[in-house]
Structure 1
């Protein structure tokens, strides 16, 4: 089925084809006609399924329908959780917009860099703004832009936007938006915190859910290796060298751990570097570009790299530290096995983290066998368990209360 069959105008379908969007993915086929109809959308699909084009293409068609607005007003706002995802969405938008007549101005704004060039870039207005919530609020406080004319709001990676640190900022952004608008929520997971906001903000939404297609062989092979925590780095080095892995993305819990593990691997003659939020935006971009260019064997990262980062043909992901939430496990392993390629995801589990991983398995309907690697057999036993949820991030009523309050404030604005 071509994109034109989904209701896209020929000029936009042609622009999409020039960028390689020749055949719609399932999420694009399901979501684009609904977005074009003007309805609110709540869409969930696996990571790497083409969600970005599913909202970018109909969004641009909506702008094409009204090109008389002068000066430029922000008519579409796309909120994302990270700088990397903002840049990625902005690149797709700008590449498509450059091929249209008239062209549209796309502004991409995020923190971690000077605000002054972004303020200068917004002079004369913009048609579409892609932003992280914090920097968007900074620009609003500087009167660098207005959201009074926004017709369409997109929350990309909605679950992450509602995670810790984003709820208050999102509430303030919602309060600055007009009450009447189209709302599009896109995410790989649909936890209760997203459900709460969706129920409050979306008007008779169309639910679009695309499950991964079954296949004879899994796209991502998941393995669990038992190892004592102090020997994880040695085992990681052994796995990389014995399997001749060219590139490995390794997830750890903290920025300090990213620096520490990368340094230890470097001492073992592996080209490893760290990637985390403590680096400047320039350093983050350079490091990620170098890893994509295969100049590093190993990229040791926090959950910063779990979302919105597309690394073509990445063969292996390793959970050196387990993620706090079951949803984050999905996003982490989703960095491999993209665009039809096969991938491998390995989780290193010690006696103390076994209960934690069992909860992840339960929430993801998994039952993975435990492996032992010769020479690295686990000998430690678990510490005395402390009552709780095993470390998996739970549901915080206070966060839901904040979201409901934000929704009510937006409705009454």
Structure 2
């Protein structure tokens, strides 16, 4: 099937061709016709399957005939709600690419950045707004955003949105939009809480599931290294020197861990940047841009970035710390081997992370290949070292009570 078969107009086909895409992916083939029929949808698809274009292209097509400004300026006709800033920016980039030959105007708003420039753009009027929940509600409270004309509402990465505690915000945003709207819900997985949300706000939705919810791309080679926790940095340096080349994302569980590893790699002469939740939005965006522009080839990140990064030609992912939520593993390694390319995922497992491997393998329904040929093997019987604080008793010697105090005395009470 080609994009022409999906009944897209010439302006969109031209932009898609210039972006280098010839044929639609599975999720695009199944989703685009149903969005054009203005049906509510629940789409279960992993990142890297082309799902942003699966809603961006039909939205642009549906709004194409309304692209010229009405009296009183442009109104927000499509609203895309995204859980993270990185993902929101990525979605805006996609919309801008595909709308090159239209007059449709798109913008993105998110927290952690100055609100004034965002207000200025919104006051001029936009057709399509991409937003994170908190900043969207702030702007609505200030009467800068009017959602009375929204025809299409997209909830992207709904499972992550609910995991981050945005359920009340999502419901509020849905109520602020018009009743007669089309809702498209996209989620990598559809756990019970996402299912419940879909059942309460969507009208007779069509369901699309692209591959298994927990599937990992066949193009990602997965390797598992059992290594003592204290040797993880040495193993990482060993692999970077000898086998892992190109553009790499390294995932750590904590911000402290990200900073510590970054300092070590810089000391060893590597070009590294990092992103985590304590960094300002501009610092995070700068790091991402430096990585995309090949100024650095290693990016260290916490999971705040796991779904928001879409980098062409990512060669490898390193799970320096294994995630305790198995779905997070799927999202992390989904950063590589996108759009049909191949990639490799290296995962380090210390003694206290062995249970995480079990739950990950159960989820993806396959055993991860164990790489034993490395200089820091973990003793298979090794148990995690648990650091116990030494109990310090009283500094006074036992039996210091006077003989008088030891005698049974009659008390007045």
Q: Which residue of 1 aligns with 2:340?
A: 340
Deviates more, 1:250-259 or 1:319-328: 319-328
Question: Relative to 1, partners in 2 of residues 1:292 and 1:14: Cα closer, same or farther, differing over 3 Å?
Answer: closer
Unaligned runs of 5+ in 1: 386-413
Q: Which residue of 2 aligns with 1:132?
A: 132
Q: Which residue of 1 aligns with 2:90?
A: 88
Q: Is the 8 A contact 1:227 1:372 kept in 2?
A: no
What is the 5 A alignment of 1:363-378?
363-378=363-378
Deviation, structure 1 residue 348? 0.7
Q: Which residue of 1 aligns with 2:320?
A: 320
Alpha-carbon distance in structure 2 between the residues aligned to 1:290 and 1:16: 26
Q: Is the 8 A contact 1:249 1:299 kept in 2?
A: yes
Alpha-carbon distance in structure 1 between the residues aligned to 2:319 and 2:175: 38
SS of match in other structure, 1:123 = helix
Alpha-carbon distance in structure 2 between the residues aligned to 1:121 and 1:10: 28
Q: Which residue of 1 aligns with 2:393?
A: none
Q: Is the 8 A contact 1:263 1:273 kept in 2?
A: no
Alpha-carbon distance in structure 2 between the residues aligned to 1:21 and 1:369: 33
Q: Which residue of 2 aligns with 1:76?
A: 78
Alpha-carbon distance in structure 2 between the residues aligned to 1:38 and 1:310: 28
**Greater than 4 Å deviation, 4+ residue runs:** none
Alpha-carbon distance in structure 2 between the residues aligned to 1:132 and 1:89: 11
Deviations 1:28-85 (A, max 9, x none): 1111000000101111223211111111111111112345743311111001112122
Q: Which residue of 1 aligns with 2:169?
A: 169
Instruction: Output the TM-score relative to the length of structure 2.
Output: 0.87
Q: Which residue of 2 aligns with 1:11?
A: 11
1:349 has 2:349 as partner: yes
Deviation, structure 1 residue 182? 0.4
Q: Which residue of 1 aligns with 2:117?
A: 117
Q: Which residue of 1 aligns with 2:218?
A: 218
Deviation, structure 1 residue 349? 0.7
Q: Which residue of 2 aligns with 1:406?
A: none
Deviation, structure 1 residue 383? 4.5
Alpha-carbon distance in structure 2 between the residues aligned to 1:125 and 1:270: 45
1:381 has 2:382 as partner: yes
Q: Structure 1 residue aligned with 2:101, among 92, 99, 102?
A: 99
Q: Is the 8 A contact 1:262 1:273 kept in 2?
A: yes
Deviation, structure 1 residue 219? 0.2
Q: Is the 8 A contact 2:45 2:209 kept in 1?
A: yes
Deviations 1:177-215 (A, max 9, x none): 222210111222222221111111121111112228xxx
SS of match in other structure, 2:123 = coil
Deviation, structure 1 residue 231? 0.8
Q: Which residue of 1 aligns with 2:293?
A: 293
SS of match in other structure, 2:233 = helix
Q: Is the 8 A contact 2:326 2:356 kept in 1?
A: no
Deviates more, 1:111-120 or 1:366-375: 366-375
Return the index of the structure with the highest Cα Rg: 2
Q: Is the 8 A contact 1:7 1:36 kept in 2?
A: no
Alpha-carbon distance in structure 2 between the residues aligned to 1:342 and 1:11: 31
SS of match in other structure, 1:249 = strand
Alpha-carbon distance in structure 1 between the residues aligned to 2:375 and 2:5: 58
Q: Is the 8 A contact 2:76 2:126 kept in 1?
A: yes
Alpha-carbon distance in structure 2 between the residues aligned to 1:313 and 1:98: 24
Q: Which residue of 2 aligns with 1:306?
A: 306
Deviations 1:313-339 (A, max 9, x none): 111101111123111111100111112
Alpha-carbon distance in structure 2 between the residues aligned to 1:297 and 1:55: 31
1:275 has 2:275 as partner: yes
Deviations 1:353-400 (A, max 9, x none): 101221121122122243334420113723499xxxxxxxxxxxxxxx
Question: Relative to 1, partners in 2 of residues 1:279 and 1:203: Cα closer, same or farther, differing over 3 Å?
Answer: same
Deviation, structure 1 residue 244? 4.8
Q: Is the 8 A contact 1:250 1:299 kept in 2?
A: yes
Alpha-carbon distance in structure 2 between the residues aligned to 1:266 and 1:2: 46
Question: Relative to 1, partners in 2 of residues 1:269 and 1:108: Cα closer, same or farther, differing over 3 Å?
Answer: same
Q: Is the 8 A contact 1:320 1:347 kept in 2?
A: yes
Alpha-carbon distance in structure 1 between the residues aligned to 2:218 and 2:42: 27
Quote the RMSD (CA, aligned, Å). Answer: 2.0
Q: Which residue of 1 aligns with 2:258?
A: 258
